[in-house]
Chains A and B, each alone.
Chain A
């Protein structure tokens, strides 16, 4: 099975408030509120941990769910978040801290 790496997109704004993770796309100002699973995925998406490791070590330990089912759900979720520009997905580790520099003013 191909390993997938996920990383937070540094070009979005994110804040946690009372356990609720809210994210705003810098691209189109869309606001997202993440559920618990998506929040764990977001917080674990460091670009160097694979998706299956996140599922095994963080999601399956938090929720009573079969690993195979959790993996499928997590991959679907990661792809959905990537579609909104919130996460990045790659088959190789994703270096962090390489946000595209904007013009300064």
Chain B
């Protein structure tokens, strides 16, 4: 009797960022290799995953290439779309799928979005900031593009462990916060170390003519933090949760302005 079905080899790996393992399944070994390289240091052999995504590779759709990201929750599922991908994730089933071309950027965006959604309900967030560990404590350096995130990362001395030069991963833990390394890179294009430490300080970056640290009023600190948070979902409950998380963070973590000139001496002020 002829065989009616063909068994397709399934390849998978677990990408663990911020202590949250996400399994990615694909039937394309080339794409698996691409992910192995892209998330080097964040891939493990864990059998357990909190979320599992099946990736279906498809040719890019030039018609939708520039469409903005849209994240919606309906009928128990998150729908994530952008010009270069479509994805769905059903939290109760802990499963989802991603349709994209064979590139690392689309799945990177999906992972960022999924992590923001999970963190929002747990009092944490992703933030536009560099972060690094020194003397067992994590320091965050927040700012918009050109504020100096890459520069401060590049200037870090050897005793500093870089967590990221672009997107910091912050979790609530007890009365404080913990920063984790991320593979989300900026101009430095250097994946962070997959380690974590309690957050000691948030610095709002400003380039200037001298190195100095100035206090920041709580209101300004909160506004600056909110302005730097990554959040994509049009969802009232999660928007409110993220808003309150920013206040809780400012209540617990000192926030200062770090004005610096681009040389290594700025690190004499940190840690």
Residues of A within 8 A of B (CB): 11-13, 15, 17-18, 20, 22, 24-29, 31, 33, 102-103, 105
Contact = CB atoms under 8 A, between A and B. Distances in A.
Interface centre among A24, A29, A33, A103 (most CB of B within 10 A): A29
The 3 closest A-B pairs by CB, nearest first: A26-B236, A13-B240, A13-B243
Contact of B243 (A20, A24, A102): A24
Contact of B236 (A20, A27, A31): A27
A31 B223 contact: yes
A33 B219 contact: yes
A17 B231 contact: no
B223 A22 contact: yes
A33 B231 CA distance: 20
B233 to A, nearest CB: 9
Nearest to A18: B218
Q: Give the bracket for the number of chain B residues in contact with chain A.
A: 20 to 34
B217 interface: yes
Interface of B: 73, 76, 91-92, 217-219, 222-223, 226-227, 231, 234-237, 239-240, 243-244, 247, 250
A29 B233 CA distance: 10
Contacts of B234: 27-28
Contacts of B250: 17
Contacts of B92: 105
A26 B239 contact: yes
Contact of B76 (A12, A13, A102, A105): A105
B219 A15 contact: no
Given A13-B243, A15-B244, A22 B222 contact: yes
Contacts of B243: 13, 15, 24
Contacts of B223: 22, 31, 33
A18 B235 CA distance: 28
A87 to B, nearest CB: 16
A102 B74 CA distance: 10
Contacts of A17: 218-219, 222, 247, 250
B247 A15 contact: yes
Nearest to B231: A29
A85 to B, nearest CB: 11
Nearest to B241: A13
